[in-house]
Amino acid sequence: MGCFSEAYFPMRAIFLWSVHDFLAYGDFAGWSTHGRLACPCGYGCIGFTLRHGRKACWFDCHRRFLPKNHPFRKQANAFRKNTRVLEEQPRRLTGEEMHAQVHNLVADTNSFGKLHNWTFVSCFRTLPYFPKLMLPHNIDLHNERNLGEVVWNTCFGIPDKTKDNVKAMLDQAEICSRPSLKLVRKRMGSGISQELHSALRTKVTRLPSFNGFKV
């Protein structure tokens, strides 16, 4: 009932977009946020599993989204070693194409995790105008905060929070061309210890960009 007219009127609501963290994206969109196809880019960003860290990784997937003449594309060792990225960025599917893809693949469990990550058809897709929405699902600021914390903790070597560990160093030695960060066995006394040490273990105590910064 309206306060001014004191009369009943039909109220209508419309779904424009949802805002949530990355894990909730899987609940809203029906696309699993686990595995090598967890990235919302889908086919355009197929990750790989780190051999030592045993986690899905999408390192260097961004270069195919750069302009064709971008200098980063032809740099062979700036990102992954001996790798140039010359393929074009994947074509962006229309809402109708995405709608058809969901219904065609969601029941195909054999190709799940290989060709698609659809787990169910979202209830929002029953809305007749849903395929025409430009950006129906949005990731909130939690991802930016989490990424900032990881960079901060790693740069400053925060105990129990830094990602600069032995497994990470072993993985980067296989993926990247960074001789100064390669792990080597350090001789301890007359024998060789089993502990791995980095050839470059000088911790960053203060970065130039943080001079004068107070916590």
190 — pLDDT class (breaks 50, 70, 90): very low
Whether residues 70 and 173 fall in one domain:
no
Rg (CA), the chain: 24
User: pLDDT tens, 84-102?
Assistant: 998 888 888 888 998 999 9
- Residue 65 neighbours by CB distance under 10 Å: 14
209 assigned to some structural domain: no
151 assigned to some structural domain: yes
Q: How far apart are CA 38 and CA 36, in angstroms?
A: 6
Question: What integer pLDDT is reported at residue 119 of this predicted model?
Answer: 93
Place of tokens 């007359």: 190
Whether residues 190 and 121 fall in one domain:
no
Whether residues 51 and 129 fall in one domain:
yes
- Asked whether residue 203 carries a pLDDT value surpassing 90, the answer given is no
71 assigned to some structural domain: yes
Q: How far apart are CA 42 and CA 115, in angstroms?
A: 9
111 assigned to some structural domain: yes
Question: What integer pLDDT is reported at residue 195 of this predicted model?
Answer: 42
pTM, entire model: 0.73
- Asked whether residue 209 carries a pLDDT value surpassing 70, the answer given is no
Whether residues 129 and 46 fall in one domain:
yes
Whether residues 155 and 194 fall in one domain:
yes
User: pLDDT tens, 139-165?
Assistant: 888 888 888 898 898 888 888 888 888
Range of the domain at 24: 18-140
Over pLDDT 70: what percentage of the chain?
A: 83
* 8 Å CB contact between 29 and 138: no
Query: Cα 37 vs. chain centroid, distance in angstroms?
Result: 10
Whether residues 178 and 95 fall in one domain:
no
From 97, 115, 140, give the residue that closes a domain.
140
Whether residues 99 and 115 fall in one domain:
yes
4 assigned to some structural domain: no
